[in-house]
């Protein structure tokens, strides 16, 4: 709906691929499983506000 995928820090930490000390995906863990950071959702705090709803979804919301 916003053109980007997000994951909050607590869910990211449950994957075992997230570094809770610097709040980023752990490069060593990603290398072990053979994926790069671009294939994963962007980690954000639970209070993160997502903006810029795509117009096709905004239109649907306006006329509910």
Does residue 61 carry a pLDDT above 90?
A: no
**Interval 7-57: pLDDT, tens:** 999 999 999 999 999 999 999 999 999 999 999 999 999 999 998 888 887
Provide the 8-state DSSP code for 24: E
Q: DSSP characters for 30-62?
A: HHHHT--GGGSPEEE-TT-------HHHHHHHH
Which pLDDT score, from 0 to 100, does residue 58 have? Answer: 74
Which pLDDT score, from 0 to 100, does residue 62 have? Answer: 60
CA angle 46–56–37, rounded 5-degree value: 40
């Amino acid at each position: 709906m916003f053109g980007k995928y997000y994951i909050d820090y607590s869910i990211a930490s449950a994957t075992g691929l997230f570094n809770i000390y610097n709040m980023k995906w752990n490069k060593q863990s990603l290398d072990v499983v053979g994926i790069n950071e671009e294939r994963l959702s962007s980690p954000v705090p639970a209070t993160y506000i997502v903006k810029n709803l795509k117009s096709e979804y905004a239109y649907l919301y306006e006329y509910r």
